[in-house]
Chain A
């Protein structure tokens, strides 16, 4: 029962494999199967929540921490399947395969957050990554420019390089400690924590996850892949895998000696680099997905801000922030996927007059953008506020500078988020057609908005819960 969500994802993947063998495909049937399995996965992750056990020769840990992430991953998968149900830009013949790889990616991510052994961790990471690499070029070739192929190749090449770094780091860890189990690695590393090799090894491993999270300078894949992949795929890439990345970053950063100045300085640079690079680049973007990609880099910087304090509150807040970020981003992509008529990329002008063309979507869009921009009372503000409070705790000059710079970034970011709100709310549709959305998707969108508001106004329960979950792995 403990691995029910994983099993349901595996079943889903197998079901789609069988479905892909049939000659005549009914789009509705494929779609409904996918939504069904998406919901089943979410429910399964809820059922498996609260279980605790070790499995597979102690390399697979079911604990509060992993189950918390599985619920969030299950939620992300379910929601992205619902709003991306039409798969406007994916050929019907490859849709079963598309869903199969999507579920496999989810499976990889769920296994990732449970893995407590380097080899199984690596295998799950690759399972989730390779499934994603294949999803990107599955987009139909509407424009004839074949951007999706370019994106796919870039994604796989950069991804493999990041994996290389990570394997290199893992080999160091194994060399230093003689074990691949994290629970044995922690005490072994603590004994030799003064050695530079320890920091080098752990940082190398983290590079792999920084790549997933798109932290500067491992961000370079983001804009092209976001733009090249279909809207639904981007909506998935931009949200769910980041949960896995944060989960593992926290697992690995706890390996390090606490308060190591080198790591703190490095993370400060990474955080500021991400925020400034992401926000400044986003200012000039015309393509909405590309803009959200850059904004994602900036948000990754905020996550690093939570990690660099290396204390329980920092990790708990980082988890709170990433879960909020996933919800806000899902809401954004819910709107984008449905506004896009034939699955084409949207420019900022394409959102013009959305308030007339589809008022509910416009409302969801505005709330999620203001939340991303960090305006209260939404979750984006509360997350940022808690991260800043925690980072300012030592009251040293470098932390003060960091917090002030991070605060400045909020002001930079508001401009491009506002440009989207402006397009949606203050312009006329001219000759753009109305947007058709089914009620179920609208309802999911409204639920996301409610979650954004409730998480933002009543965060104490969730943060406390994340805190206890983090304590179990420290």
Chain B
């Protein structure tokens, strides 16, 4: 427990988890439609405001878990309620709290039926997502990780598009099937350590076979969540059918849980297996980047296009994580945030078009530039950001990742380059079609440009696009200490084992 900096004052992290939950419980009893909207907006905004002290009070000089809280929960099995944030999770926590109010705004008129229940699902989602990022007890983590499936399933299955039943069940089954072995691995780790406290499990001397098995169980769960090629097939279905807010949550936060899992669990708990299996994961990432890019190029459905582009972008993130150097991992974390911001914004943009034309087809949204100048301005910036145009946020992320990859393996880096080019190809194609279209554009003159609420929804995303793009240093500072510590341990581990191997060989 010595790697916790216990927070003696106000239990900030618990509050962040339970406050949205409290909001959800209130909504069960008062379910007026307008009340539900304003109430949820209030709760999510307050949560976002209250989370700001996490950044301002964050100690940049330590890699320990800050704002920690520890209470006994189930003493028989040594399960404790332990929360804490470090450099790896802080940005994800902030991303979650800040993005939620805009999810509410994006569904303001999009959701027309059972509004109160929708808002309850959003609030429960927020609680569970924040919990996943701050949980330091593996069972607490697993409970929230699984529990999240219920509200997400309902979001897709009730308020989704025409194939919602198929998409929601596929989402649920896929994710659940992936995480059952995770549970077995957690229990196995508990047998070795006698505790579910995550930092206790790290950097222990497990046997190679054990590490490989645990790594594979972890990797299956996280790879499905990311999703890594070839476990990505649930993603397009779920993204396409989910309502706008669902897609945003899915893209911005849920996918990050997979990569967060890799960073938080796979690397420190099973370092030896990481070194063994990393090459395969790297090439799977390359496959994901290329495959996602090529498939996105062929889509005529805007949401599907962005969904497949997610597969490509998340490929970059896993690439960055498993090159196992500083640029790579920092780039991966930044890219996680970037993808959350950019793709979230793109999904909101598509949702806005969908509200007007009631179609997600690229064909029926061609040539709207003339009638919706504000809209296409936003869209243009987010599209540029999506393929990593210099000056936008993704450029920083992809640059760092590629720099890290070049340092590790030139072939690998060269293999990833076409992915970046493909990203430009499919995003520019979409942008061209939406803004100008061709000679046979449908009549778009009935379209109204963005209203005030919609501009408010999109502006913060744009601010973050340029903030991270032009001044990423504050963000890198936040994670720096934790990443350095992680890599120091990892290198120490490798060195130690090389020495042992050398001794054995001699």
Q: Is the interface of B mostly helix, strand, loop or mixed?
A: helix
Stretch at the interface among B144-152, B268-276, B307-315: B144-152
> Measured between alpha carbons, how far is A385 from B143 in the docked complex, in Å?
10
Q: Are A388 and B183 in contact (CB under 8 A)?
A: yes
Cross-interface CB contact of A415 among B139, B153, B173, B187, cutoff 8 Å:
B173
Smallest CB-CB separation from A410: which chain B residue?
A: B180
Q: Are A375 and B146 in contact (CB under 8 A)?
A: yes
> Measured between alpha carbons, how far is A28 from B376 in the docked complex, in Å?
69
Q: Are B146 and A381 in contact (CB under 8 A)?
A: yes
Chain B residue contacts of A474, Cβ below 8 A: none
Stretch at the interface among B73-81, B413-421, B426-434: B73-81
Q: Are B184 and A411 in contact (CB under 8 A)?
A: no
> Measured between alpha carbons, how far is A260 from B148 in the docked complex, in Å?
41
Smallest CB-CB separation from B114: which chain A residue?
A: A355
Smallest CB-CB separation from A415: which chain B residue?
A: B173
Q: Does A437 contact B (CB under 8 A)?
A: no
Size class of B's contact patch? 20 to 34
Q: Are A426 and B139 in contact (CB under 8 A)?
A: no
> Measured between alpha carbons, how far is A389 from B176 in the docked complex, in Å?
19
State which residues 437-469 of A face B: CB under 8 Å: 459-460, 463-464, 467
> Measured between alpha carbons, how far is A410 from B114 in the docked complex, in Å?
30
Q: Are A388 and B187 in contact (CB under 8 A)?
A: yes
Chain B residue contacts of A397, Cβ below 8 A: none
Cross-interface CB contact of A403 among B144, B153, B173, B184, cutoff 8 Å:
B184
Q: Are B184 and A392 in contact (CB under 8 A)?
A: yes
Cross-interface CB contact of A376 among B73, B143, B181, cutoff 8 Å:
B143
Cross-interface CB contact of B183 among A400, A407, A418, cutoff 8 Å:
A407
Chain A residue contacts of B181, Cβ below 8 A: 404, 407
> Measured between alpha carbons, how far is A400 from B214 in the docked complex, in Å?
13
Smallest CB-CB separation from A414: which chain B residue?
A: B176
State which residues 369-391 of A face B: CB under 8 Å: 370, 375-377, 381, 385-386, 388-389
Smallest CB-CB separation from B72: which chain A residue?
A: A460
A415 to chain B, nearest CB (A): 6
State which residues 133-181 of B face A: CB under 8 Å: 139, 142-144, 146-147, 149-150, 153-154, 157-158, 164-165, 168-169, 172-173, 176-177, 180-181
> Measured between alpha carbons, how far is A392 from B189 in the docked complex, in Å?
11
- Once A376-B143, A381-B146, A415-B173 are accepted as A-B contacts, the answer to whether A425 and B154 lie under 8 Å apart by CB is yes
Q: Which of B74, B149, B158, B177 is packed against the most chain A CB atoms within 10 Å?
A: B74
Q: Does A393 contact B (CB under 8 A)?
A: yes
Cross-interface CB contact of A460 among B73, B154, B177, cutoff 8 Å:
B73
Q: Does B190 contact A (CB under 8 A)?
A: yes
Q: Are A418 and B184 in contact (CB under 8 A)?
A: no
> Measured between alpha carbons, how far is A408 from B169 in the docked complex, in Å?
17
Q: Does B188 contact A (CB under 8 A)?
A: yes
Q: Does B191 contact A (CB under 8 A)?
A: yes
B143 to chain A, nearest CB (A): 4
> Measured between alpha carbons, how far is A388 from B180 in the docked complex, in Å?
11
Q: Does A471 contact B (CB under 8 A)?
A: no
Smallest CB-CB separation from A427: which chain B residue?
A: B165
A175 to chain B, nearest CB (A): 41
Per-position binary interface string of chain B over residues 185-202, scored 1 when its CB falls under 8 Å from any chain A CB and 0 otherwise: 001101100000000000
Q: How many residues of A contact B (CB 8 A)?
A: 32
Q: Are A460 and B184 in contact (CB under 8 A)?
A: no
> Measured between alpha carbons, how far is A411 from B75 in the docked complex, in Å?
28
Chain B residue contacts of A411, Cβ below 8 A: 173, 176-177, 180
- Once A375-B150, A426-B157, A463-B76 are accepted as A-B contacts, the answer to whether A395 and B172 lie under 8 Å apart by CB is no
Q: Are B165 and A426 in contact (CB under 8 A)?
A: yes
> Measured between alpha carbons, how far is A344 from B187 in the docked complex, in Å?
44
B20 to chain A, nearest CB (A): 15
Chain A residue contacts of B176, Cβ below 8 A: 410-411, 414
Chain A residue contacts of B184, Cβ below 8 A: 388, 392, 400, 403-404, 407
> Measured between alpha carbons, how far is A355 from B139 in the docked complex, in Å?
32
> Measured between alpha carbons, how far is A459 from B157 in the docked complex, in Å?
31
Q: Does A422 contact B (CB under 8 A)?
A: yes
- Once A407-B180, A425-B157, A426-B157 are accepted as A-B contacts, the answer to whether A389 and B173 lie under 8 Å apart by CB is no
Q: Which of A375, A404, A459, A467 is packed against the most chain B CB atoms within 10 Å?
A: A375
Given contacts A403-B184, A418-B153, A425-B154, 13 further A-B contacts (CB under 8 A): A370-B150, A375-B150, A376-B142, A389-B77, A389-B190, A392-B184, A392-B187, A407-B183, A407-B184, A411-B176, A415-B169, A418-B172, A425-B158
Question: Could you show 27 A-B contacts with beta carbons less than 8 Å apart?
Answer: A355-B114, A376-B142, A376-B146, A385-B187, A386-B77, A388-B183, A388-B184, A388-B187, A389-B190, A392-B191, A393-B191, A395-B191, A407-B181, A407-B183, A407-B184, A410-B180, A411-B173, A411-B176, A411-B177, A411-B180, A422-B165, A422-B168, A425-B154, A426-B164, A426-B168, A459-B74, A463-B76
Q: List residues of A whose CB falls within 8 A of some B CB.
A: 313, 355, 370, 375-377, 381, 385-386, 388-389, 392-393, 395, 400, 403-404, 407-408, 410-411, 414-415, 418, 422, 425-426, 459-460, 463-464, 467
